[in-house]
A and B are shown apart, each in its own frame.
Chain A
Amino acid sequence: MDLFTILFYVFALITLGAACVVVFSRHIVRAAFALLFAFFGVAGLYVFLLADFIAVTQLMVYIGGILVLIIFGVMLTQKQINVDIKTSPVQTWPAVLIVAALAGVLIGMFWSTDWARMGEISTATTATTPKLGEMLLTTYVLPFEVASVILLVALVGSAMIARRERNT
């Protein structure tokens, strides 16, 4: 086993272990912090896939943004901190069916994929970020701008919902 393989297993283990804690933990703060490690592990896996931009985005958006938001949310709703969240299964049979179907698809994919061919994919490291930026402002300029309008609308909407009642 070379260093890369060992590192890969380390990151995979971090991701899986943390994800299990998220699912099984009865303490909401503990689950939130476990989520941090799960996200971190996934970011590491992205690096192995040579997706440097996605790895950085994963760190910035999920850990820097969403996770902090979750933890803030948990902290601000004080009463919930010590509440035991329910981890016992509900609706067992539908869940079993869906999970079985999903697992079937995934395992099918696993067996039918020609893994040996994957080695042919170039492993030369190219920086993806400049290319992505260029694409965003040329080919994908319209989606890029529309996304900014969506954010603006979300801002207007949330300001409207959250603001204090004006006596009109």
Chain B
Amino acid sequence: MGFQISDIANNAPLFTLVATGLVVILLESAKSGKPNVSFIVSLAGFILSGLLAVGGLKTEDVSFGGMLMNGSYSNFFAIVFCLTGSLTILISKSYLERFGQFRSEFYILVLFAAMGMVLMASANDLIIIFLGIELMSVSLYVLAGFFRTQDRSNESALKYFLLGAFATGFLLYGIALVYGSAGSTNFSVIHNQAPALMKNQPLPDSVVQAGLPDSVVQAGLPDSVVQAGLPDSVVQAGDSGLPAGQAGLAGTIFLLGLGLVIVGLAFKVAAAPFHMWAPDVYDGAPTPATGFMATAAKAAAFGAFVSIAFKMIGSTSGTISNLLAVIAAASMILGNVIAISQSNIKRMLAYSSIAHAGYMLSGIAAANVEGQAGVMYYVAAYACMTLGAFAIVSILERDDAANLSIDGYAGLSAKHPVIAAALALFMFSLAGIPPLAGFFGKYYVFLAAVKADMTWLAIVGVLTSLISAYYYLRVVVVMYFKEGEAAVEGRIGMSTVVAIAVCAYLVVQLGVYP
């Protein structure tokens, strides 16, 4: 147990990010005011970390005494984070320069946020999930308020912070309850105990399985009955956490804890009904930071979500699946319907991100192998197209936060045909039009839902996708068929162009060769 040298090699992407973050801090303090250096070093750190993650795809292992899980799953997410992180950095350069806020702290925060994300995706222990989420969130709170002199940015940071702290409270309380009932925070241990804990809760169908009469279960479970009528593992669960007489209660506490953990995570992915913060925060934060939040942070929360749903709970629980399905359906309906009425493009993308969280959640609710693979694919596809869209928004945004309305994009195709074409590509992909990446993402998660006998969820998904096509395509229509004065102020940063090109390439690539 404990620390071994191989742990560092197994987690090379993680340690590269930490080391880069520390180097950037030191550089910043050594020669103050040279953000260009920080920019290059952070970019190099992200690329190196991403390459190491690609190299580590094959080795399946656990490290730090079972705290972290290394292998294809965690490294896949690490690649997504490094990609989005480096693209965010590329987008941010010209944007921050334009607003006179080109400072090293941005890169330090992005690096450490990415480190938190890698921790979340590779976690094999609830403690690590919690610490990863906190590391990511603290960095994002500051990134949201990066433009300290702007009221909008401050409002965004404060809202995110207060609501985020509250959500953390839920998560932590949930973790405490799970620990109390299962006797461990380790996923593998909890996974072994989950079936027993689930069966033991006083629900009618579980009563039939356990072979106990109703009255006994509800009468508070005398010791002898519990030990006689239930599998051995329950008694063990009692030994590890609570006295045997409370094993019945432990099941309820376990479910309650899981519910609270899900609330905390649903907040981080901005799924309804825990989405209220997203539009205001996305709108007020600096656009590259918004892009980072909407893609990498969401991907990280899903990385943790999938780990918890598949590695910790396992596919045994109908209750949890149904709960997730309801959250998914609510997010899809709410996100898409409200997005129609938005005139500000950042708010529109915020509601669309709520809807996409719903699509991805339906893959987790399906709780089968297809669902897991579908969510992973969807995360990558969604990250590319959304980040690309935010990159273009960042080009067009002006000083006074004007030109964020969708109508401001009128006539863009005449002035800047390439940018308009790229934005159209991202919008088509977000709407889920084949053969782009967005289509296959939806296809996989809905297929998983159908296979899990959740056809209604897939139907809700397809119908709401149709609704979403309306507001995505409206942007395209405005750009191409409406006369207008859309123009880019000043020079378009070279790095932003590179970032957009990479996003566009990946959207097509992931779609054509899924």
Contact = CB atoms under 8 A, between A and B. Distances in A.
B403 interface: no
Given A112-B249, A143-B131, A157-B109, A149 B67 contact: no
A51 to B, nearest CB: 15
Interface in A131-154: 138-143, 146-147, 149-150, 152-154
Interface string A100-142: 0000000001011110010000000000000000000011111
B243 interface: yes
Nearest to B111: A153
Nearest to A117: B243
A156 interface: yes
Nearest to A114: B245
Interface in B84-111: 100, 103, 105, 108-109
Given A160-B105, A160-B142, A141 B3 contact: yes
A138 B2 contact: yes
A149 B243 contact: no
A152 B139 CA distance: 10
Interface residues of A, number: 26
B64 A141 contact: yes
B109 A153 contact: yes
B469 interface: no
B135 A142 contact: no
Given A139-B2, A156-B109, A112 B220 contact: yes
Contacts of B112: 149, 152-153
A142 B141 CA distance: 24
A165 interface: yes
A158 to B, nearest CB: 8
Given A109-B249, A138-B1, A165-B149, A143 B127 contact: yes
A139 B65 contact: yes
Given A112-B249, A117-B245, A142-B128, A150 B138 contact: yes
Given A112-B246, A157-B138, A157-B141, A147 B1 contact: no
A77 interface: no
A161 B243 contact: no
B100 A168 contact: yes
Main secondary structure of the interface of A (DSSP, over half): helix
B203 to A, nearest CB: 17
A139 B67 CA distance: 9
A5 to B, nearest CB: 23
Contacts, number: 80
Contact of B128 (A146, A150, A160): A146
A146 B138 CA distance: 13
A88 to B, nearest CB: 23
Contacts of B68: 142
B44 to A, nearest CB: 20
B134 interface: yes
Nearest to B35: A168
B395 interface: no
Contacts of B416: none
Nearest to B28: A156
Contacts of B138: 150, 153-154, 157
B148 A153 contact: no
B127 A114 contact: no
B382 to A, nearest CB: 26
A127 to B, nearest CB: 21
Contact of B131 (A112, A113, A139, A146): A146
Nearest to B139: A153
Interface string A67-106: 0000000000000000000000000000000000000000
Contacts of A165: 148-149
B54 to A, nearest CB: 23
Contact of A114 (B3, B109, B141, B246): B246
Nearest to B1: A139
A117 B149 CA distance: 60
B259 to A, nearest CB: 13
A135 to B, nearest CB: 10
B447 interface: no
A158 B142 CA distance: 8
Interface string B134-161: 1100110110011011000000000000
B499 interface: no
Contacts of B25: 152, 156
B18 interface: yes
A147 B25 CA distance: 18
B227 to A, nearest CB: 14
Interface of A: 109, 111-114, 117, 138-143, 146-147, 149-150, 152-154, 156-158, 160-161, 165, 168
- Closest CB pairs A-B (n = 8): A157-B142, A138-B2, A142-B64, A146-B131, A160-B105, A153-B112, A114-B245, A150-B135
Given A112-B220, A114-B246, A160-B105, 16 more contacts: A142-B3, A142-B68, A146-B119, A146-B131, A149-B18, A149-B115, A153-B142, A156-B25, A156-B109, A157-B141, A158-B142, A160-B148, A161-B145, A161-B148, A165-B149, A168-B100
Interface of B: 1-3, 18, 25, 33, 64-65, 67-68, 100, 103, 105, 108-109, 112, 115, 119, 127-128, 131-132, 134-135, 138-139, 141-142, 145-146, 148-149, 220, 243, 245-246, 249
